[in-house]
Amino acid sequence: MERLVGKKAPDFKMATVLGNGEDFGNVSLEDYKGKWLVMFFYPLDFTFVCPTEITAYSDRYEDFQKAGAEVLGISVDSEHSHKAWINGDLGKLNFPLASDMTKSVARDYGVLLEEDGVALRGLFIIDPEGNVKYSVIHDLNVGRSVDETLRVLKALQTGGLCPVNWNEGEELL
């Protein structure tokens, strides 16, 4: 798989359910033009680690908004499965969940486990011009850190050289 960081983000169009668990919609990369996008893939609805991540990102959604970023969660489940999960165990969210039923978006972003038909935990930060600035992809068993995602987002937004463990307000190199 070719690296995505430093390149234009692969285009996408997917069906969604809004975080209210009621309304359906559609989403495309074009919808985020001029905004930062934190886009994350998770394996499946109704699983064990996924709800801990999704609700943690939802709980911090206001922090992403303050940083000028939108959040989008994606799995290979249908938007109807997402709706049932939101209205069941998951609860309301502050961002939409997108359906990659064809698995084409997961494949384009290099996170699809072809043999299992699910996505690895892939997270991508896309800048307002549609360029991939950050990606992290890891095994299914370990959830991601919302704090680290926000730290990296803010570091990227400085446009400068950020030393190890840099945090907002600290000096750049």
Q: Which of 27, 50, 106, 119 is catalytic?
A: 50
Asked whether residue 123 carries a pLDDT value surpassing 90, the answer given is yes
Asked whether residue 46 carries a pLDDT value surpassing 90, the answer given is yes
- Is residue 109 within 8 A of residue 41, CB to CB? The reply is yes
Residue 162 lies in a domain: no
- pLDDT for position 80: 98
Which of 9, 69, 60 has its CA nearest to residue 37? Answer: 69
Query: Is 50 labeled as catalytic in the residue annotation?
Result: yes
Residue 164 lies in a domain: no
Asked whether residue 87 carries a pLDDT value surpassing 90, the answer given is yes
Residue 130 lies in a domain: yes
- pLDDT for position 168: 94
Residue 8 lies in a domain: no
- Residue at token pair 């499965």: 81
Residue 68 lies in a domain: yes
pLDDT, one tens digit per residue, over 129-155 is: 999 999 999 999 999 999 999 999 999
Q: Is residue 134 packed enough to be buried (19+ CB in 10 Å), middle (13-18) or exposed (0-12)?
A: middle
pLDDT, one tens digit per residue, over 21-36 is: 999 999 999 999 999 9
Q: Which domain holds residue 20?
A: 13-143
pLDDT, one tens digit per residue, over 48-70 is: 999 999 999 999 999 999 999 99
The CATH number of residue 132's host domain is 3.40.30.10
95-114 average pLDDT score: 98
Residue 150 lies in a domain: no
Number of domains, the chain = 1
Residue 120 lies in a domain: yes
